Chain A
Amino acid sequence: MSENHDIKTTQLYDQHLQAGAKMVPFAGYLMPVQYPTGIMQEHLHTREQVGLFDVSHMGQFIVQGAGAALALEELMPVDLEALAINQQTYATFTDASGGISDDLIVTRWAEDTFFLIVNAACKAQDFQRLQVHLADSADISLSELDLHSLVALQGPHAKDIMAELSSDAASLVFMHGCSASIDGIDCYITRSGYTGEDGFEISVANQHADRLADILLAYDACQWIGLGARDSLRLEAGLCLYGHDMDLNTTPVEAGLSWSISKSRRNNGAKQGGFLGDDTILLQLSEGVSRKRVGFLVDGKAPVREGSEIIDDQGSVIGMITSGGFGPTLQAPLAMGYVPIEYSKEGTALTALVRNKPRSIIVAKMPLVPQRYHRG
């Protein structure tokens, strides 16, 4: 790390150090992978109490101007015109062949203003792509909220903390947001997250981020949670990680993300197609796919991790594990990966090779730990 002078830190870096975090390079940033209590405790704490995550490495973009919705719809198979103000949606950026170039959350801030949160590792490329795409639209501007932090407050008691800080935010339902003031600090708060738990994501100007974190951490139920537990939490919740569980070589349909494709953009929809890769994706929606992402339960205690080959009973390689590890809430290993469609049925027994040793895995319905979103 000492050789890498380009590595960035978030506004909250000093707080992580003070909390005793183990910092690791991630997507160009030094990020906390875990704190002294360890991933197991952090994971369970988030499921039982409240965890605070620094996700300021993620990209926060604003696309603004007349026609913004339609311009963005050319890059993602969602219906942004149908979003209510302050409503948000999960979406994928597709490429010309239907592959996924990133996944993101889009929030409609105003009639012609959209707030995008994209993956840290993809943000430079996403920004450039948006810039090129919007270059001919003189009325639409693109900017990055690079002087803003993003924190996630996740867990069953997140709502209790929020109730004391902002009644507006506390009354939000899943995938909705609002502008709010927490002890005089202007924030944009959404009811969303990446843990499977109820919770909030809070965008805040850097100069107020430390004080906001202090306010949240002053609650006994709340503690910092690192990227290690963030990964095990999202895995249990069945949520994809870009670059692992989907990428340019997988389409939203193969990745099990068809639910994120708006009806109006599908076959016979009012705005059918019209996004990059629409031929491939619409064909897959009507004809089906030859392989798909599934979840796995693992027999025994040995974790089956990313990169493990999946073999059939003849020993032929039929697929690959794309994410895997130990689930602290499940108290067992779990994984996800891609298999041919004929092996994707729930209950199908397969074998994964871990260090050349066969480990029995069973296709299981995701999420393996139930999501507990507040849908109102």
Chain B
Amino acid sequence: MGQVVYTKDHEWLSRKDDVVTIGVTEFAQQQLGDVVFVELPEVGSTLLIGDEAAVIESVKAAGEISVPLGGVVLSVNESLIDEPELLNSAPETEGWIFKLTPTIAVDLSDFMDAGQYQQYTQDGE
């Protein structure tokens, strides 16, 4: 993986060349609880910043993933269709959610790095 950054909504973004992979953090999966279903975005769809890209359903409730940067959905993690629990067991690796080709060049330094994110979760939201 390339550079990894974090959002205030507990998503992680990892960039390699022109592609950004997006998922939720270990902190987020702990808050969500047992994931039973993930609604994935459509491959090829264009998302604007803040659009609802995915929905994560736990036993208790549904949580929305809004996209932290605009782009075109390049691929989705189809393993999550049959194994939504990957989001609990490996949220920052095998449990990635989708890959995006950003519409415009993005500066990932606008987001938090690992140290800043750790501080952020410790301070509470």
Contacts and interface: CB of A to CB of B under 8 A. Distances in A.
B57 interface: yes
Contacts of A231: 60
B38 to A, nearest CB: 9
B102 interface: no
B33 interface: yes
Contact of A33 (B55, B60, B62): B60
B39 interface: yes
A5 interface: no
User: Could you tell me the dominant secondary structure of chain A's interface residues?
Assistant: mixed
B36 interface: yes
B117 interface: no
Given A326-B57, A355-B39, A355-B55, A303 B33 contact: no
Contacts of A40: 33-34, 59
A228 B57 contact: no
Contacts of A302: 37, 39, 57
Nearest to A34: B33
A326 B36 contact: yes
B84 interface: yes
A325 B60 contact: yes
Interface in A316-373: 325-326, 328, 333, 355, 357
A39 interface: yes
Nearest to B57: A303
Interface of B: 33-34, 36-37, 39, 55, 57-60, 62, 81, 84
Interface of A: 33-34, 38-40, 43, 228, 231-232, 301-303, 305, 325-326, 328, 333, 355, 357
